Amino acid sequence: MGSDPENYRIEPLSKQHNRSGFNSGSEPLDRFLSQQAGQEQRKAFAGVFVAVGVDSGVVAGFYTLSSICLVAEELSSETLKRLPRYPQLPATLIGRLAVSLDHRGKGLGTALLYSAIEKAYRSSETIGSAFVVVDAKDDSARRFYERHQFIRIPSNP
């Protein structure tokens, strides 16, 4: 497989996707994809999207999207000064994002992130969402998101 994100297609998770061999190096993320992702999607707890190799059909990465509310008082005054004064603010959560170890270093993580942001933006035209929020599981993930201009919520580093 080539080293270009264009060698992948990103699509909603379906029963046709073989998830059993996915290995991101994070057991909780791998277990989620193989055991929980389909159920969460069917029950509308999260939208699950997979990056599939165009030639191989192998699941190379995935992300999830869901709706959340941010508590306004947890945000910085700089952020709040541009927003309506509501106690809770609608947001889209990128709850999980992972790339298989076999597909790292090819720009796929960034492609998945941009796909998630684009989907969040498009859905905000129908269902209000003022923010895209991520839940960085560790320092490596935090650095990845910060490289893409995400900022920390002061009350939740």
Task: Classify burial at 41, counting beta carbons within 10 Å of its beta carbon; exposed 0-12, middle 13-18, buried 19 or more.
Answer: middle
What are 28-37's pLDDT values in tens digits? 999 999 999 9
Task: Give me the mean pLDDT over the 105-121 stretch.
Answer: 95
Question: Which strand (E) or helix (H) includes residue 37?
Answer: helix 37-42
- Paired with 68 in beta bridges are 91
Question: Is residue 99 scored above 60 in pLDDT?
Answer: yes
